[in-house]
């Protein structure tokens, strides 16, 4: 819901997002993010708007996860917290305004419920069992990990037609998931444990998709065009 008069009146907005929405954060009147959980395909979701909530675009979808809170200490640097498929604490970070989200190292064995940053380096997250975690370096390595993963992972051809090859020159690929703009899974391959895999696209309709590549270093998500 949205108000333009300081809360005197609230207007219901049609988000087009299926599932539960748990937290919303706006950088300004136009640009905002929302996180939650899509019970249709059991995935944590992050959506972004650039027109004051009139339209929302999927930024990230992770299967068997919950996302409870999102904060942006700077325009392009943001954090989302929740829990992974094992119920352990999950922290995601973006350094490019939500285009890519990278999982950070987290020592919490319990779900994380809220996150707050004083600036881009100093932040806190809290969870069950009264656990509080603090970072003084923006959570550590994701800046370097993101750059490293971008250089190591090749996805080609893009645009693609009959098939798509995913290659990681540094570490084993554990799983991949191809999904559409609504978050619906088109293809998923688990337990890969190889440096390269090729998936068929002959039955995939033309359009814009996202592919999430999970390896030992984290999760990298890229846009893929199928023609």
Q: Compute how many other C-beta atoms are within 10 angstroms of the C-beta atom of residue 221.
A: 19
- Helix residue spans in 74-217 (DSSP H): 142-152
Which of left, alpha, beta for 138 (phi over 0: left; psi -120 to 50: alpha)? left
Sign of the Cα torsion 213, 65, 86, 97 reads positive
Could you tell me which residue, 136 or 23, shows the higher pLDDT?
23
Question: Of 40-44, 71-75, 194-198, 222-226, which range is least confident?
Answer: 40-44
The span from the CA of 94 to the CA of 103, in Å, is: 9
Mean pLDDT across 189-211: 91
Looking at residue 147, its pLDDT comes to 52
Looking at residue 107, its pLDDT comes to 74
Looking at residue 199, its pLDDT comes to 95
The span from the CA of 116 to the CA of 4, in Å, is: 25
User: Nearest-CA neighbor of 135 among 210, 67, 77?
Assistant: 77
Domain ranges of the chain: 20-140, 144-226
Tokens of 182: 């609504």
Length of the chain: 227
Mean pLDDT across 67-80: 94
Q: CB neighbours of 68 closer than 8 A, spacing ≥ 6?
A: 22, 23, 35, 81, 82, 111, 112, 113, 114
What are the pLDDT digits (tens) for 156-186? 999 999 999 999 988 889 889 898 877 788 9
The span from the CA of 195 to the CA of 173, in Å, is: 6
pTM, two decimal places: 0.64
Task: Give the percent of the chain with pLDDT over 90.
Answer: 43
Tell me the CATH number for domain 20-140. Answer: 2.120.10.10
The pLDDT-based confidence of 142 (bands split at 50, 70, 90) is very low
Contact at 8 Å (CB) between 214 and 189? no
The pLDDT-based confidence of 133 (bands split at 50, 70, 90) is confident
Question: Of 71-75, 86-90, 126-130, 137-141, which range is least confident?
Answer: 137-141
Looking at residue 143, its pLDDT comes to 43
What is the CATH class of 144-226? mainly beta
């Amino acid at each position: 819901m949205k108000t333009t008069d300081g809360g005197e009146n609230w207007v219901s907005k049609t988000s087009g997002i299926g599932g539960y929405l748990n937290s919303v954060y706006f950088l300004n009147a136009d640009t905002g993010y929302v996180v939650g959980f899509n019970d249709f395909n059991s995935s944590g979701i992050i959506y972004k708007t650039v027109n004051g909530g009139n339209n929302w675009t999927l930024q990230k979808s992770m299967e068997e996860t919950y996302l409870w809170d999102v904060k942006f200490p700077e325009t392009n640097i943001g954090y989302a917290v929740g829990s992974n498929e094992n119920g352990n604490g999950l922290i995601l970070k973006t350094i490019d305004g939500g285009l890519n989200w990278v999982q950070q190292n987290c020592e919490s064995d319990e779900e994380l419920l809220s996150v707050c940053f004083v600036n881009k380096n100093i932040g806190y997250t809290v969870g069950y069992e009264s656990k509080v975690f603090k970072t003084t370096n923006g959570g550590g390595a994701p800046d370097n990990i993101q750059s490293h993963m971008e250089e190591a992972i090749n996805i080609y051809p893009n645009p693609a037609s009959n098939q798509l090859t995913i290659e990681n020159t540094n570490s084993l690929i554990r799983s991949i998931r191809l999904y559409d703009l609504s978050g619906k899974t088109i293809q998923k391959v688990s337990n890969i444990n190889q440096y390269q895999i090729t998936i068929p696209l002959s039955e995939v309709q033309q359009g814009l998709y996202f592919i999430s590549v999970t390896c030992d270093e984290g999760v990298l998500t890229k846009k893929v065009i199928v023609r």
